[in-house]
Amino acid sequence: MSTIRHNLLQAIMGFVLRAALQSLLLCLASAECDLGWQVRVAIIREEGSNGDREMSSAVYSAGMEPWDITMSDLLHGRATLDTFQGEPAP
């Protein structure tokens, strides 16, 4: 492949990648952005703890999907953390 052809191909690919990244960032910044997926976040709590409702509200407000998970759910195998992308503990 000639150097000119190679440089032209690199420039076109760079332009396409920059345009795609810019479109994605603009979509993520807008309230109407729906990529068809949502970040699942486990809100881990123990009986007697507090702050889980506020944490769930903050996670939801940030556009993520909060799940209420108790320590007994984890200990008894009713829930696992494998499918979650975040685990803040209030």
Q: What's 30's DSSP letter?
A: S
Kindly state whether residues 49 and 83 are assigned to the same domain: yes
Q: Are 69 and 43 in contact (CB under 8 A)?
A: yes
3-state class of 41 per DSSP? strand
Domain count across the chain: 2
CA distance 18 to 23: 9
Tens digit of each residue's pLDDT (9 = 90 or more) over 56-84: 888 888 778 888 888 888 898 888 888 88
Residue 53, φ and ψ in degrees, nearest 5:
-70, -40
What is the spatial distance between Cα 51 and Cα 59, in angstroms, rounded to a whole number?
Answer: 12
Residues 45 and 79 in one domain: yes
| pTM of the model as a whole | 0.55
What digits encode the pLDDT tens for the residues 16-39? 667 666 766 666 666 566 666 678
Q: Are residues 19 and 42 in the same domain?
A: no
Considering the domain architecture, whether residues 9 and 48 belong to the same structural domain is answered as: no
Same domain assignment for residues 89 and 60: yes
Could you list the residue range(s) of the whole structural domain that residue 5 is in? Answer: 1-34
Residues 83, 46: one domain?
yes
